[in-house]
Amino acid sequence: MKLSEHLADYDSDVRDTILQIADTCVRISKGFASRQSQSDTQNVYGETQMALDKWADQVLIEDLRESGLVKYLASEEQPDILEFDSQGDLGITLDPLDGSSLIGVNLAVGTIVGIYKGGILMPGQMMVGALYVLYGPLTTLTYTLKKGVHEFVLDDTGQFVLQEESIRIPEGKIFAPGALRKNYLAGHLKWIEALEADGYKIRFSGSFVADVHQILHKGGVFTYPGLVGNEQGKLRLLFEGNPMGFIVTEAGGATSDGRRSLLAIQPNAVSHRVPIYIGGKREINLIENINKEGYE
Ligand code: AHG
Ligand code: MN
Ligand code: MN
C-alpha cells in the first residue's frame, strides 16, 4: 500500500501536508553527497550548522509555504515561529535534520515533524500527529495521526510503501544514554545503574531520531538527561521530544522529563529544552519513581 492510500481517510490538509513533506524529504535524501560540509554559521542554540541543516531547512520551509496548507511553522534552525498566508490552521514543527554531525561518518540521520492545529506553543498531547523520515540504509517514513504508528519504506520507484502497520514497542533491554556520566544527577545515575544491573546493553549512535527509531522497534529507552549545571539537558521539547515522544507513546511506550510526561509540558518558547526519556513504560516508570523518592 502506498502512503497516499494509507492517508486517504484523514483530513485533507493533514494528508496533503504529510505527502508534501514526504516529497520534500525524498529530495533531501538525494542532496547529501554534495552538502557534507560545515557552514560558517551557528543556530540559535550556538550549534554549528551543517550545510545540509540549512539546505533541508530552506527546502522544507519553501515547500510548506508554497503548499498553502500550513499557517504556522517552527524550525530548530529558525529563531521564531514563521506565519504563512494560508486558509488553513495547521502548525508544523521541524527538526529539518537531526544528527547532522554524523553525516560525515555516514550514520543515519533524519527529519522530525510535529503536526498541530491552531498554533504550536501548546502541550504535545494536543498534537494532531507526528512523523519522522530516517535516512539510513533504507529511507523510511514513520507517522501517527493517533490511529496507530505506521512505517513506510522508499521503494525503487521513489514511492513510500507500507513496511509495517500498527507498530507496538516491545520489551527490550537496550538503552541509548546521551551526555557524560560524570555529569549525571543522582536520580539519573541510580536509574542507569539499575538498567545496567538488569543487563541492559548500550545502543547509542548520537543521532536522536535513529536511536529512538531503534528503541521503537526493539524496546528499551533513549535518554538525554538533565545534568549537573545543565538541568534542562540539550534536546528541544518542540523539535525532538514532543514528536518522537508522541509517536512512541502512541505505540504503547511513554515519555518523561524524569518526573512527568513530556507531552503534558506547556512549552515556554520554541527553544524550550527538556531532559528526555523516551521508551517502554517500565523504564519510564522506573526513573519517575526514583525521582519521586527524592534523589536529586
Ligand atoms: P541536531 O543534529 O538536530 O542538533 O541533534 C543532535 C542531537 C541529537 O541528535 C543527539 O541525540 C544529540 O544531539 C547528541 O548530542 P551530543 O553530541 O552532545 O552527545
Ligand atoms: Mn535534533
Ligand atoms: Mn537538527
Cα 232 to Cα 49, 78, 216, 293: the distances in Å are: 22, 20, 24, 20
Ligand nearest the Cα atom of residue 47:
1
pLDDT, one tens digit per residue, over 110-125 is 999 999 999 999 999 9
Do 80 and 159 fall within a single domain?
A: yes
CATH at 221: 3.40.190.80
pLDDT, one tens digit per residue, over 196-209 is 999 999 999 999 99
Mean pLDDT over residues 144-169, rounded?
Answer: 98
Cα 25–2–136 angle (5° rounding)? 40
Q: How confident is the model at residue 36 (pLDDT cuts 50, 70, 90)?
A: confident
Residues 6 or more apart whose Cβ sits within 8 Å of residue 290? 187, 190, 191, 194
**pLDDT surpasses 90 at 272:** yes
Domain stops at, among 137, 164, 191: 164
Rounded to the nearest angstrom, the distance between the alpha carbon of 48 and the centre of ligand 1 is 12
Do 144 and 10 fall within a single domain?
A: yes
Please give the Cα distance from 107 to 103 (Å, whole number). 6
Please give the Cα distance from 185 to 281 (Å, whole number). 21
Query: What percent of the chain is predicted at pLDDT more than 70?
Result: 99
Atom of ligand 1 nearest to the CA of 239: 3
Do 141 and 257 fall within a single domain?
A: no
Q: How confident is the model at residue 295 (pLDDT cuts 50, 70, 90)?
A: low
Do 55 and 159 fall within a single domain?
A: yes
Classify residue 274: in a domain, yes or no: yes
Do 260 and 237 fall within a single domain?
A: yes
Classify residue 169: in a domain, yes or no: no
CATH at 106: 3.30.540.10
pLDDT confidence of residue 38: 79
Q: How confident is the model at residue 265 (pLDDT cuts 50, 70, 90)?
A: very high
Contact (Cβ atoms closer than 8 angstroms) between residue 130 and residue 146? no
Contact (Cβ atoms closer than 8 angstroms) between residue 115 and residue 129? yes
Do 74 and 214 fall within a single domain?
A: no
Mean pLDDT over residues 129-141, rounded?
Answer: 98
Domain stops at, among 115, 131, 164: 164
Classify residue 141: in a domain, yes or no: yes
Please give the Cα distance from 192 to 182 (Å, whole number). 12
User: Which residues approach ligand 1 with their CB closer than 6 A?
Assistant: 47, 76, 95, 98-101, 178, 206-208, 224, 234
Please give the Cα distance from 179 to 206 (Å, whole number). 10
Q: How confident is the model at residue 255 (pLDDT cuts 50, 70, 90)?
A: very high
pLDDT confidence of residue 211: 98
Give me the DSSP letters along 97-129: EETGGGGGGT--EEEEEEEEES-SSS-GGG-SE
Domain stops at, among 164, 190, 215: 164
Do 158 and 210 fall within a single domain?
A: no
Domain holding 111, by residue range, is: 3-164
Do 64 and 183 fall within a single domain?
A: no
Classify residue 231: in a domain, yes or no: yes
Rounded to the nearest angstrom, the distance between the alpha carbon of 5 and the centre of ligand 1 is 34
Please give the Cα distance from 1 to 270 (Å, whole number). 36
The SS3 call for residue 133 is strand
**pLDDT surpasses 80 at 142:** yes
Protein residue with least CA distance to atom 18, ligand 1: 179
Do 124 and 179 fall within a single domain?
A: no
Do 216 and 149 fall within a single domain?
A: no
Please give the Cα distance from 1 to 15 (Å, whole number). 15
Protein residue with least CA distance to atom 8, ligand 1: 208
**pLDDT surpasses 80 at 263:** yes
pLDDT confidence of residue 154: 98
208 vs 296, more confident: 208
Do 18 and 157 fall within a single domain?
A: yes
41 vs 108, more confident: 108
Mean pLDDT over residues 57-67, rounded?
Answer: 97
Compute φ and ψ for 211, nearest 5 degrees: -65, -40
Classify residue 241: in a domain, yes or no: yes
Give the total number of structural domains in the chain: 2
**pLDDT surpasses 80 at 294:** no
Contact (Cβ atoms closer than 8 angstroms) between residue 75 and residue 61? yes
Mean pLDDT over residues 162-177, rounded?
Answer: 98
pLDDT confidence of residue 296: 47
